[in-house]
Structure 1
Amino acid sequence: MTLFRTAEPAAEPVTLADVKAHLRLDGDREDALLSGLIKAARCEVERATGCALLTQEWRLLLDRWPRSNLVVFSIHPVRAVVAITVFDGDGHPTVLDPGSILLDGTTRPARLLIEAPPAPGKALSGIEIDLRAGFGDAGTDVPDLLKRAVILLAAHWFEFRTELEPAARPASFPRGYERLIAPYQTRRL
């Protein structure tokens, strides 16, 4: 099972002005750097929580259907299944009828039930599920704690950009960041 993003969100969940206000910065000398840090911070928050903050497109590749025909997604929230394609042994696609699926995209994890799916003929990645995930299209749709985590992280990386850390150590995280994202992380049992 492989899940990857096929289309980035059209915007970021926080604005450049939001981060500049947090940092108490005037002027535009650092705008390019800050914009890059906002995107990096959004990607890190999404990685740490498994949440797509803004609407974006994803593809899940499966070798075969689960025995229960219940597909579980690791990304949250799933807004819609755009297409399900099953490939035969010669690589010819069959697109499934949307009426044959039942999506429960707001639960965590999101689930997709498929009635009597055709078996893939390809041994590897014979099933492609294209989906749309995210809290919405605008920053106002993103939960406030996650927006604050993006701001805090981008600002922290801006403030400590000259610190050199050994390659084996991960990027540093500010105090309070873990508490902001904790309600959105999945519990590992």
Structure 2
Amino acid sequence: MPAILLAGPTAEPLTLAEAKTYLRVGHEAEDALIASLITAARATVEALTRRVLIDQSWRLVRDAWPASGLIAVPVNPLREVIAARVIDAAGREAEVPLGAFTADTSRLPGVVRVERGAVPAPGRPIAGIALDVIAGHGPTADHVPSPLVEAVRVVLAHFYEHRDVPGPGAAFPARLDALVVPYRVTRL
């Protein structure tokens, strides 16, 4: 089941000023580079943990409703279902009432329970269902667990210090694993 990013986070786990302080950079010549490295560091931590740090909206595309009534969400932590549509054979979308879904946010990976009798069958055999969800720890960096923010700092510093070093010399520091392993979401 593919997950398509609809809207990324509105903020990063670190501000430019926080990143520059952490990197001990006192000039503005590399602000654009550091800003892009913050985004890359966040994305790296998200990939290592299989979590999104700050709220993002995603679309899950399915061919059919699952027989079990359970949809495992590939982006975590799941916060809520915000929209659902089925697509007919002509390509027209029909809204499905959100009351037909329950987001089980206590699990990792998150699960959406589908009320079997309350959802119409899609008319299109491929990609006939679109389910929009919000995933993340919250809307701001304050909601992100502090070890994951520290992991973003570690990756940021590593990227900044090793931007010209290819190969094994550019391996992440061992301390990164200690920060991300407790937060890694296992795959189903």
TM-based fold match above 0.5: yes
Q: Point out 4+ residue stretches in structure 1 off by more than 6 angstroms.
A: none
RMSD across aligned positions (CA): 1.6
Determine if the alignment matches structure 1 residue 179 to structure 2 residue 181: no
Write the mapping of 1:160-179 to structure 2, written as runs, cut at 5 A: 160-165=162-167, 172-179=171-178
Q: Please state whether the residue corresponding to 2:163 is helix, strand or coil.
A: coil
Q: CA–CA distance in 2 between the matches of 1:96 and 1:187?
A: 30
What stretches of structure 2 of length at least 5 have no aligned partner?
none
- Number of the residue aligned with 1:150: 152
Q: CA–CA distance in 2 between the matches of 1:109 and 1:5?
A: 17
Write the mapping of 1:31-70 to structure 2, written as runs, cut at 5 A: 31-70=31-70
- 1:137 maps to a residue whose letter is P
Q: Please state whether the residue corresponding to 2:22 is helix, strand or coil.
A: helix
Q: CA–CA distance in 1 between the matches of 2:40 and 2:187?
A: 25
- 1:146 maps to a residue whose letter is L
Residue deviations 1:45-89 (CA, integer Å, cap 9, x gap) = 111212111111100000111111111102111221110101111
- 1:136 maps to a residue whose letter is G
Q: CA–CA distance in 1 between the matches of 2:171 and 2:5?
A: 25
Determine if the alignment matches structure 1 residue 139 to structure 2 residue 141: yes
Q: CA–CA distance in 1 between the matches of 2:107 and 2:122?
A: 27
Write the mapping of 1:89-128 to structure 2, written as runs, cut at 5 A: 89-115=89-115, 116=117, 117-128=119-130
Q: Please state whether the residue corresponding to 1:173 is helix, strand or coil.
A: coil
- 1:31 maps to a residue whose letter is D
Q: CA deviation at 1:188?
A: 5.5
Q: Please state whether the residue corresponding to 1:6 is helix, strand or coil.
A: strand
**In percent, how many aligned pairs have the same letter?**
39
Size of the aligned set, in residue pairs, is 185
Q: CA deviation at 1:172?
A: 3.1
Write the mapping of 1:71-90 to structure 2, written as runs, cut at 5 A: 71-90=71-90
Q: TM-score, normalised to structure 1's length?
A: 0.91
Q: CA–CA distance in 1 between the matches of 2:155 and 2:175?
A: 10
Q: TM-score, normalised to structure 2's length?
A: 0.92
Structure 1, 127-136 or 11-20: larger mean CA deviation: 11-20
Q: CA–CA distance in 1 between the matches of 2:23 and 2:174?
A: 16
Given that residues 89 and 122 in structure 1 are in contact (C-alpha distance below 8 angstroms), is that contact kept between their aligned partners in structure 2?
A: yes
- 1:101 maps to a residue whose letter is F
- 1:64 maps to a residue whose letter is A
Decide whether aligned partners of structure 1 residues 79 and 138 sit closer, same or farther in structure 2, where only a CA change above 3 A counts. same
What stretches of structure 1 of length at least 5 have no aligned partner?
none
